[in-house]
Amino acid sequence: MANTLLGPLSGTDRVDGLLDDGAWIAALLEVELALSAVAVEQGAVTEHDADAVERAVAAVAGVDPHALAAESVEGGNPVIPLVKRLKAAAARIQPGAERAVHPGATSQDVMDTALMLLTRRAGHRVVADLTACADAAAALAATHRDTPCAARTLGQQALPTTFGLVAATWCTGLDRARAGLDRVLTALPVSYGGAAGTLAAVHPHGPAVADALAARLGLAPQGVPWHTERSRIGELAGALGVAAGACAKPAGDVVLLSATELGEVSESAPGDSSSMPHKRNPAAAVTARGAAKRAPGLVATLLAGAEQEFQRAAGAWHAEWETLVALLRVTAGAAARLRVSLDGLQVHPEAMARNLDLAAGAQGHGTGHAADLVDTVLAGRPA
């Protein structure tokens, strides 16, 4: 999952440690442990048995991911062999305690809930980087509120604007994407429905167990089980895709404005070339753009999986796990690398003035209206 060679340059290493095999196993066990604990609270299992489960979780925590992966092939997901290991460990610790493992749950409940935990943790890191990117863009907007530069439409110079308004526009998109992703992360739900999504195995405790599990894990209540109602996965995919796109916009502008013929901005730590020592490549913006370009296909895959048949899907659900993790990684990469690009971005007003002179007559239009828009954007930012 993690890529040691390419992860740092694409920025995906920002969340790799939160999404790797070890993080997956830890999240699955966290769900199982929480499930046993809340089942005690609701009277579904005994406290004595649940104590043995806690010790079993500690015993199983060091499982070899490769061994667990091999055992997962037959059943189709890693929860099945993990639960078998947990039950065996609990029975060794205390005969009969295995009944407190996985009470009333199905493998999808544990997989979905663990994925929500992983998503929340990685997603909060993306939100932090989006916030930093927006703050950097806002600082550029304030500093260059009145710095005239060429507005370009259809690749050609149009009328003058200010670089402050260019940066304020970046800031607006980043702020909107951050707020949207934050809302979705706050609403990530627990999953607990049992074999057919009816909570039959723990009747009449099912809804109470589900709500208590959500509270213990810090997730949102589910309402009703959502095994094949995947609109929330679609909302999450959309929010991550929008965030990646919000990063792609300023990254693309920085790449273009850094071109030798324009020279209007440059990164504070530009990259070099293996064969052309004169080059100063906007490497952070380039790699932010590269990460963001991977997002739309992943979003499309998740949206295509919204149609999941009957009460448990065959294939569409399975397609979500690696796809969502990949989308989290590339969106995190885009935000992390854009943050590097915008922090300390060097702006060259003399080059902007020189380029403005190329458009005859355009200088006759004032830029006060652009500066006023900068003030509006900055005044309206969230505290």
Catalytic residues, by residue number, are 273, 312
Is residue 298 within 8 Å of residue 291, measured between CB atoms? no
- In Å, how far are 117, 162, 266, 286, 294 from 248, measured between CA atoms? 27, 21, 17, 9, 11
Name which of 339, 211, 238, 349 is nearest 285 in CA terms: 339
Q: What is the DSSP letter of 249?
A: H
Q: Do 306 and 234 meet the contact criterion of CB atoms below 8 Å apart?
A: yes
Tell me how far apart the alpha carbons of residues 177 and 248 are, in angstroms, rounded to a whole number.
Answer: 12
Of 83, 125, 129, the closest CA to residue 104 belongs to 83
What single letter denotes the amino acid at residue 187? Answer: A
Residues 6+ apart with CB under 8 A from 248: 288, 289, 292, 293, 334
The number of beta carbons lying within 10 Å of the beta carbon of residue 268 is 12
Q: Compute the distance between CA of residue 260 and CA of residue 269 in angstroms, rounded to an integer.
A: 16
Give 146's contacts (C-beta < 8 A, 6+ positions apart).
162, 164, 367, 371
Q: Which residue blocks in the chain are alpha helix, DSSP H?
A: 7-10, 13-19, 21-41, 47-60, 65-75, 79-93, 107-143, 163-186, 206-217, 231-257, 283-293, 295-304, 320-342, 349-356, 368-379
What span, in angstroms and rounded, lies between the C-alpha atoms of 272 and 280? 5
